[in-house]
Amino acid sequence: MNHPNPSPPSQVSEWPNPKYAWYVIIILTAAHTLAYIDRQIIALLIGPLKTDLVLTDVQIGLLGGPAFALFYTLMGIPLGRLVDRKNRRFMISCGMFFWSIATVSCGFAKNFWSLFIARMSVGVGEATLSPAAFSMIADYFPPNKLTRPMSFYLTGVWFGIGLAFILGGAVIDIVASMGTVTVPFLGELKSWQIVFIAVGAPGLIFPLILLTVREPLRRNKIKHSESSASGHPSLKNAIAFVWENRRTYAPIFAGLGLHAAFGLGASFWTIEFFIREFGIERSNISYIYGTLSLVFGTIGSLSGGWIAEFLERRGIKDAKILTSMVGMAVMLPFAVMFPLMPSVKLAAIGVAGVIFCTPFPYGPSVAAIQVVTPNEMRGFVSGIYVFVAVVIGLGVGPPLIAVLTDYVFKSPDLLPLSILTAAGLLVPAAVLCMHIARKQYKKSLIVAQEWTDPLLT
């Protein structure tokens, strides 16, 4: 990539106050939590949706994966370009308001296609969040202190999943005891409709809280760039940069996507697994799974960040990628274990292990991506990462398990074998990708020192 035109002179600036920076992390994590509640709540409602809307397992799999993932991924890249140019806080606020309205509208779906469109709209709104949040977090913390806050932000996934099941289960219990509920101006509503409305409503007012978050100074800019009239690298240059660094980005993106495919696929079908295999009441298992997600998902995410920084302090240059790879490898025995267990307690132990390992690699890997990417391209690169990871993760994970159940094993009772097969296919492939990424990532760290503006690092 050529850099003939020097960028405007930089000004020396200290990093933001750590206390305020962590306050921003808490706010962004809360937004991420609400996003995942809205995204994941459908997994709790599989049974009622199948009954009331007359849906198959494959249709449910499409609603849980591609319906959301389609526009989430398609919009992620152009919105990522806007992240590199516009006020990131404002983009998050607008996206959050939009996806919350879309979640509420899921509660008024009348058939598969109306619910499919509503789920796609949730994806459009949520596509603004992570590219903007990743970019902001990298401007609040120096590179050697970035992994832990990035991992903390990603705990929002597991707060969201856990709260979706715990609060959703509580709503189902309450409404089930009351039968159909009549709501003023809305008429008679069933339990699944009330759940969608209840989880979507908080996001309509949360943008007001985001007003307390300041847009940070953009750091780690490239020294020279072929800039557009606005002073930003052209789309041509951004694409060229990604292509030149494809040997670093591609295996990281693919590894995280394959890891997500099993983690999110298993997460989506775990409730049904316990119901079909052990006959547990839907609300009861939602409390169990929600609690496991809150506890072990949070611990797993924070552990990945802590271990990566611990190894970096001891001179391991590729600690972020190494930590991610090890976390993926540790998942495999738990993934193989839980579908085969003969009791609820033993299966829950296996699920806890899968939950712990699922978020473990993301904080280190996402931090690694930010470190080797110029500020002017972080939103764009994050959009590409989200595109690849979600296409593979949500686009493959939930439907793959459904297809194995319906068309390979041909019985809903053989869902455990579908989960086991998916683990054997996806988890080893993810580990291999991260192994390939390690060597090239070290080279990218050296190259990053050449293009980074030393006054803004």
Determine the residue type at 147: T
Query: Distance between CA atoms of 178 and 168, rounded to whole angstroms?
Result: 15
Considering the domain boundaries, does residue 121 fall inside one?
yes
Number of domains into which the chain is organized: 1
DSSP symbols for 87-137: -HHHHHHHHHHHHHHHHHHHTT--SHHHHHHHHHHHHHHHTTHHHHHHHHH
Q: What is the pTM (predicted TM-score) of this model?
A: 0.76
Mean per-residue pLDDT, 375-389: 85
Cα 414 to Cα 64, 299, 303, 403, 435, distances in angstroms: 20, 31, 34, 12, 33
Q: Which of 190, 192, 173, 172 is nearest to 182 (CA)?
A: 190
- The yes-or-no verdict on residue 383 having pLDDT over 80 is yes
Considering the domain boundaries, does residue 9 fall inside one?
no
User: How many Å separate Cα 281 from the centre of its chain?
Assistant: 28
Q: 173-207 burial, b for 16+ CB within 10 Å, e for fewer?
A: bebeeeeeeeeeeeeebbbbbbbbbbbbebbeebb
Q: What's the alpha-carbon Rg for the chain, to the nearest Å? A: 22
- The yes-or-no verdict on residue 36 having pLDDT over 80 is yes
**Over the stretch 66-99, which tens digit does the pLDDT of each residue have?**
788 778 888 888 888 888 888 999 999 999 999 9
Considering the domain boundaries, does residue 118 fall inside one?
yes
- Is the Cβ–Cβ distance between 251 and 434 less than 8 Å? yes
Query: Distance between CA atoms of 105 and 219, rounded to whole angstroms?
Result: 39
Spell out the residues 6+ positions from residue 441 whose beta carbon is closer than 8 angstroms to its own.
248, 252, 318, 320, 321, 368, 372
Query: Distance between CA atoms of 155 and 360, rounded to whole angstroms?
Result: 10
Q: Which of 149, 156, 151, 210 is nearest to 16 (CA)?
A: 149
Q: Please list the alpha-helical segments (H only) found in 107-244.
A: 112-126, 129-140, 147-154, 156-178, 191-200, 235-244
Q: What is the pLDDT of residue 160?
A: 82
Considering the domain boundaries, does residue 225 fall inside one?
no
Q: What is the CATH number of the domain that holds 69?
A: 1.20.1250.20
Determine the residue type at 100: S
**Over the stretch 315-351, which tens digit does the pLDDT of each residue have?**
888 899 999 999 999 999 999 888 889 888 899 999 9
**Over the stretch 121-171, which tens digit does the pLDDT of each residue have?**
998 899 899 889 998 998 999 888 888 999 999 888 888 878 877 776 776
Considering the domain boundaries, does residue 200 fall inside one?
yes
Range of the domain at 331: 18-216+232-456
Split at pLDDT 50, 70, 90, the class of 228 is very low
Q: 236-249 burial, b for 16+ CB within 10 Å, e for fewer?
A: ebbeebbeebeebb
Query: Distance between CA atoms of 152 and 149, rounded to whole angstroms?
Result: 5
Q: What is the pLDDT of residue 5?
A: 42
3-state helix vs strand vs coil in the chain, percent to 5: 80, 5, 20
Q: Which of 251, 252, 261, 254 is nearest to 354 (CA)?
A: 261
Question: What is the torsional sign of CA 396, 398, 404, 406?
Answer: negative
Cα 281 to Cα 102, 248, 268, 277, 285, distances in angstroms: 29, 46, 17, 11, 6
**Over the stretch 394-428, which tens digit does the pLDDT of each residue have?**
778 888 888 888 889 888 888 889 899 999 999 99
Considering the domain boundaries, does residue 10 fall inside one?
no
Mean per-residue pLDDT, 304-316: 90
Considering the domain boundaries, does residue 344 fall inside one?
yes
Strands (DSSP E) along 261-324, which ranges? none
Q: What is the pLDDT of residue 9?
A: 44
| Secondary structure of residue 267 in the 3-state scheme | helix
- The yes-or-no verdict on residue 31 having pLDDT over 50 is yes
**Over the stretch 252-281, which tens digit does the pLDDT of each residue have?**
999 999 999 998 888 888 888 888 888 887
Considering the domain boundaries, does residue 2 fall inside one?
no
Query: Distance between CA atoms of 52 and 406, rounded to whole angstroms?
Result: 20
